[in-house]
Each structure stands twice: as structure tokens, then as C-alpha cells.
Structure 1
Amino acid sequence: MQFGWYVNDWANAAFSASVLTVFLGPYLTSVAKNAADAAGEVHPLGLTVRAGSFFPYTVSLSVVLSVVVMLLTGTIADRTGRHKELMCGFAYVGALATMGMFFLSGDRYLLGGALLVVANICYAVSVALSYAYLPGLASPDERDAVSSKGWAYGYAGGGVLLIVSLALFLGHDALGLSAGTAVRICLASAGLWWAIFTVVPLLRLPSRAGVAPARAAAEPGRPSAGSLRELARTLRGMRQYPLTLLYLGAFLCYNDGIQTVVSQASLFGSEELGMSQTTLVAAVLTVQIVAIGGALLLGRIAQRYGAKRTVLGSLVGWVITLALGYLMPAHQPVWFFGLACMIGLVLGGSQALSRSLFSHLIPAGREAEYFSFYKISDRGTSWMGPLVFGFAYQVTGSYRSAIISLLVFFVIGFAVLAKVPVRRAIEAVGNPVPERL
């Protein structure tokens, strides 16, 4: 069963790595610039935004919409026990939307925005439901290791596809393809990869996630109404666990910063540092490779020092990384690759350990609902960070100002997480406490 869960990360990481992190940001920005007026602005739905802000704003919009979909889907999953069917169903819709990005060309920035919204919503829901499996996959003392291994599988899968994409992009002239066509093929291939490997969790995972027996089936003929009532009950019930909410608040803050760095790194590298598409792909591939070791390394460190202290240490590493990014000279690929190594070292571990730590703070039987809240800010689904990033660029016209504005998320997240008494939080929800936290 664990293998099927690991392969799910292998499958969906293609969307996170190839689409959100590497190709779509710079490419959709170029498409938006093709449609821009003389002032460099586009007007989606009658709004006026800089073409360079269209991608981060669209990411924010997709996440705001995904919040409602995730929460409702989480309650339906926990109520009916159909976690796998919903998880894989959303994965395939997201994969189809990603494959549709092949048709993104010319000045069709609205098409690109629409496909991004659909794909990112489906990605968020599918991954939130996959997280709900973690408490049933491992004992409390094993979850850090299992979660870290899952992230390592994800970065490995994303890295393999990036190698293929890099080879295609570098050889596009020899293949008689334009650079734009090569990028569109890379985008579509991420959707195909996602669809093919989702077959494994579809066959290997049980329908129900978590550790509790299924609750009563939804009232016949009124599943939506029942889900809304369940969602309202979950929101009221979460107030009984203020320490879980405190941890969730810390995570939503610092991980919003992490996800914004990940999703906007290629845009920053291309527009501010003058890096070529080849350099960007190679740098993200470096992140993927280093992140495999980083996730496993921080998992080992957590076994000795505890997950909370290890995550706090990784946040210090993120602050240093952002400061170096702000000071980095343009047109210097060597420095950019150094920054990629630093990101990879702290990226996988900080997220894997945050996920396993949160799994201890969830009441049994409510995994999908609580992880839907958690997934509001996870791989590629942050919204506050891209909004701040886009606004900072809108005001200053500088991506350096945009990237340094993200420091606030890490500082506040560190301060809040440091105040969370994790042992008391686990005891409050009635879960067994692991030996080391």
C-alpha cells in the first residue's frame, strides 16, 4: 500500500515541477506580453494588470477557488469513504487540463489562465486527499520517515521528467521545433505523465484513507447538503483543538512563502536575472535532485532532534536563501545553481516533516477534511505569497523587491511554530505521542 502512495507523489510531481515551477510561469508571461497594450498591461475580465503579474495573480485565483472545492471534497470523502475514487478522478481532470496547455500559443493568455486554474484546483484536491492516507500507512514513530520517502519519490519523478524535457528543449532545433512548441510539448507531457502513473495508486490504494471505520453514508439524494453540514461541523469542531489551529496557522504562513519561491523562481530567474530557459530547467532539475537527498537527510535529523526543531532550522535556511537571492548578480548561472542547491536542501525536508507532524494533530476519522485545510498552502497551491509577490512587482516593477517581500512569511511562521506545544497538541486530539518530536 505504501508503494502505491509513493507512486502517487511520483505522478503528480510532474505538474508541480514541470508546469508550475519551470515552464508555465515564463511562457504564460510571454504570451500575456504578446497580448499586452502599449503600456505593457492586459485586461482580463475588465481588470488592468501588468503582463508580468498575470501568472502569480492567476495562481492566487486558482487557490482561492480550490479552497472551497477542497473543503467540500474532503467532507464528502470522509463521509462516504471514497477517498481513492475522488483523488484519482480529480487527478485525471487535472491531467487533461495540463495536456490542453499544448494549445497555448500566440496571445491566448486567457486560455492559459483558465487551464491553469482548472489544473491547479484539481492538483490541490487530489494531493489533499492523498495526504489523508498517511495516518493509516505508518505508526506514529514511522511517519517522519514514510512522509520523507514520499517526498523523495515525488522529487525523483519530477526530476526524471525534467531530464526528458530538458533534452527536448535543448534539441528542439534539431527536431525542427520552435522553442515555443517545445515548451508546449513539455507542458502537455507533464499531464500525460500524471495520467499514466496515477494508474498505480488507483490499483494499489484502498478506497478509504485514514485509520477510523467509515461513518454513516450520506443521506440518499442529498450528498451536497450533507457535505455542507459536515463542513460546517468540521469548522466548529476545529475550535475544540486550538493548538492544532495554531500549528496550522504557522504552516499556512511559512509554507505560503516556500510555495511562492518554488512557483515564481523561474519567473524571477528569467525576468530579473536574465537566465535562459535551458539554465532555468537545469537549475530546477538540480533542485529536484538535491531535494531527494535533502528530504531523506532532514528525515534522519528529525529522528534525532525531533521534527519541530528540524523544521525550525529549515526555516532559518529559507531566510538565508531569500537574502542571497535578493543580492544575486544577474547573468551569473553559477550563482543561480548555488541558490538552487540551497533551495533543494531545505525544500523537501521542511515540507515532508511538516506533513507528518500535522498528521499527529488530526482527530481519527477526519483526515481528509483536516488535510484539506492543510493543503490550502502546500505544493503549488499558496495564494497569499503569489498575491504579495505580484503586488510588490506591480508597485515597484522589480522582481528583487517581489522576492524579498516573502521574508515576512518565514519570520512570522517561525515565530508562531516556535510557540506550538506539539506534545500537548497531540494529546489533545487523543492520538498516541511518538517518542521524539
Structure 2
Amino acid sequence: MGYVGGGILLIINVLWYMKPEWFFMPGAGFALRASFFSVAVWWAIFTIPLLRNVPEPPAARTGQEGVSALRAGFGRLAHTFRQIARYKQLLLFLVAFWIYNDGIGTIIKMATAYGDEIGIGVTDMTIALVITQFVGIPFSFGFGWLARRLGTKRSILLGIGVYMLISVAGYFMQTATHFYILAFAVGMVQGGTQALSRSLYGAMVPKNQSAEFFGFFSTSSKFAGIAGPLLFGVVSQAAGGSRLSIVSLIVFFIVGGLLLTRVDEQEGIRVAQEENRAAGLA
């Protein structure tokens, strides 16, 4: 649903930018500013059902009311990490996810910069973004079907394998058509790989700690997303261009994939289920 909702607004904004006269706009610059404003309005509108229909639970007293929010926040993260470290398979998966997801995130973040460097036009890159968005809709469902037949971990490994091929193919990219093909390939695996990663993580998380552990999952992945762009930049500076940088990202997929192969998902799920039974939540 996220792909569909975001994709609808993306199509509207792309049309504004490419054909502003169709919408009685004075030019592309105005269309860009209007697009940013439309995103704010979109968020505001679709936040209303959440605010109206989802009750807010009362705030829990933590005993840290006198501590600064920053210090309390990092202290809570450290506490959650110590809790996660008690679950060997969950921790191993989390480290694997940090690594391969950093590669995925870097491809997404640096695609336009790389495309611009090799001469891909703004219009072509915009079209590629739309391709990725809408290809992701059916293939996200497809990955769900695949997980039921191959298993969640194997399906994620398949997605990582495709990302490795994308990294290598990116080195040889020359034309807008090549960019479209790689955008299609990214759309094939982007949503499915990340959704199945969250699903596998959730299956190994005890129910009574799911909110805390998923909060850590989301926050920690942001911190872990620093290494990929850093490697991309360092290699680009050393090589005098970004072609080797895109290939260098394969390191994240190899290391993350190898760690993922060592995750015993059945053991992780068994431990979580034991915790659920002990807490009366089975």
C-alpha cells in the first residue's frame, strides 16, 4: 500500500514538473516547489485517520523524568541492545541486516548522483524512479509468494543476489535505457527484500518486547546506513569517478549475505515462542 500511495503522488508531481503548462503552472521551478508543498498536504491528510482512530496509550513512567531526553534516549537504546544480545539468532540477523541493508540504502541514495555523473538526464532519472516505484508493487506480493515456497531467509538471499548483479551491472551502465533496466531490477527486489527482512526479524522477536525491539530495529538501521555512502565517496575520490564505487557496494551484500546464511531462523523462532509461552502470550 505504501508503494501505491506514494506512487500516485509521485506520478502527479512528475507530471507537474514535466508538463507544468497542463496544470496552469508558470514553469518547472514552480512545479518543484508545489510538489514539496503537496507532500506536506498529503502527509497531513493521511495522518488524520491515525489521529482520529488510533488511541494513544498513557505514557509509562520510567523513573528517568529528571534525566535529559537525549541521555535517556541513548540509555534506552543501550538497554534494548543488551536485551537483544540475549537472543543469539536475532542479534546475528540484525547485524546481517545492518550490513546488506546499508548496501541497499546506498544504491537508493546514490543512484541519481551516479546517473548524473555518467550523463543520464533529469527526465530519464525521474522516469526510472517511477519505474522502480510501480514495479515494486507486484514484486512485493511476488516475494510473499516466494517466501511461502522457498522460505523467508532464502528469498532474502535471492534478493541480495540480485542486488549483487545490480552493483556489477551498474559499472557498465552507459545509456538511459541501461538506467531504466537497472531501475526495473531494483524495483523487483527492493520492497520484497526489506519487507521479508522485517518479517523474519518479527518472527524471532518475543511478543512482549516487540515494540521496543522494532523501535531499535528502525533506529539502529539509520545509524548503520553511514558506512555505505562513506565507502562510495572514498572509492569515488580515490578512483576519480563513481563506476568503481557502485561495484564496491557488493562488499555489503557479500558480507551481509554470508552472515545471513549463518542465521538459524527456526532456532530463533523457537526461542521467541518459548518466551511467549513463559509470558502467557502464546
TM range, normalised to the smaller chain?
0.7 to 0.9
Match 2:2 to one of 154, 159, 169: 154
Take 1:404 and 1:199, find their aligned partners in 2: how far apart are those partners?
Answer: 43
| Deviation of the 1:377 alpha carbon | 6.2
Take 1:410 and 1:256, find their aligned partners in 2: how far apart are those partners?
Answer: 9
Partner of 2:280: none
1:260 is matched by which residue type in structure 2? T
| Structure 1 pair 361–393 and aligned structure 2 pair: CA distance change class (3 A) | same
2:130 is matched by which residue type in structure 1? L
Take 1:428 and 1:198, find their aligned partners in 2: how far apart are those partners?
Answer: 36
- Note if 1:310 corresponds to 2:155: yes
| Deviation of the 1:256 alpha carbon | 0.8
Take 1:414 and 1:320, find their aligned partners in 2: how far apart are those partners?
Answer: 13
Mapping 1:146-295, distance limit 5 Å: 153-172=1-20, 175=24, 177-207=26-56, 217-219=61-63, 221-222=65-66, 224=69, 230-272=76-118, 274-295=119-140
Higher helix fraction: Structure 1 or Structure 2? 2
Take 1:372 and 1:390, find their aligned partners in 2: how far apart are those partners?
Answer: 29
| Structure 1 pair 269–173 and aligned structure 2 pair: CA distance change class (3 A) | farther
Q: Secondary structure at the match of 2:263?
A: coil
Contact 1:256/1:377, CA 8 A, preserved across alignment: no
Take 2:216 and 2:139, find their aligned partners in 1: how far apart are those partners?
Answer: 26
Mapping 1:38-437, distance limit 5 Å: 153-172=1-20, 175=24, 177-207=26-56, 217-219=61-63, 221-222=65-66, 224=69, 230-272=76-118, 274-329=119-174, 332-376=175-219, 382-429=225-272, 430=274
Take 1:168 and 1:309, find their aligned partners in 2: how far apart are those partners?
Answer: 41
| Structure 1 pair 228–376 and aligned structure 2 pair: CA distance change class (3 A) | closer
Contact 2:207/2:276, CA 8 A, preserved across alignment: no
Contact 1:254/1:409, CA 8 A, preserved across alignment: yes
| Deviation of the 1:173 alpha carbon | 5.9
Q: Unaligned 5+ residue runs, structure 2?
A: 278-282
Aligned residues: 273
1:348 is matched by which residue type in structure 2? G
Take 2:223 and 2:176, find their aligned partners in 1: how far apart are those partners?
Answer: 25
| Deviation of the 1:294 alpha carbon | 0.9
Which range moves more in the overlay, 333-342 or 219-228? 219-228
| Structure 1 pair 337–231 and aligned structure 2 pair: CA distance change class (3 A) | closer
Q: Which digits, 9 at most, give the CA deviation of each residue in 1:195-250, with x for residues without a partner?
A: 32122223333435xxxxx9963338447476665444323222211221100000
| Structure 1 pair 397–165 and aligned structure 2 pair: CA distance change class (3 A) | farther
| Structure 1 pair 218–227 and aligned structure 2 pair: CA distance change class (3 A) | farther
| Deviation of the 1:380 alpha carbon | 11
| Structure 1 pair 263–191 and aligned structure 2 pair: CA distance change class (3 A) | farther
With normalisation by structure 2, the TM-score equals: 0.86
Q: Which digits, 9 at most, give the CA deviation of each residue in 1:269-296, with x for residues without a partner?
A: 1222x22222111111111110001100
| Deviation of the 1:425 alpha carbon | 1.2
The CA RMSD measured in Å over matched residues stands at 2.7
| Deviation of the 1:312 alpha carbon | 0.7
Identity of aligned residues (%): 35
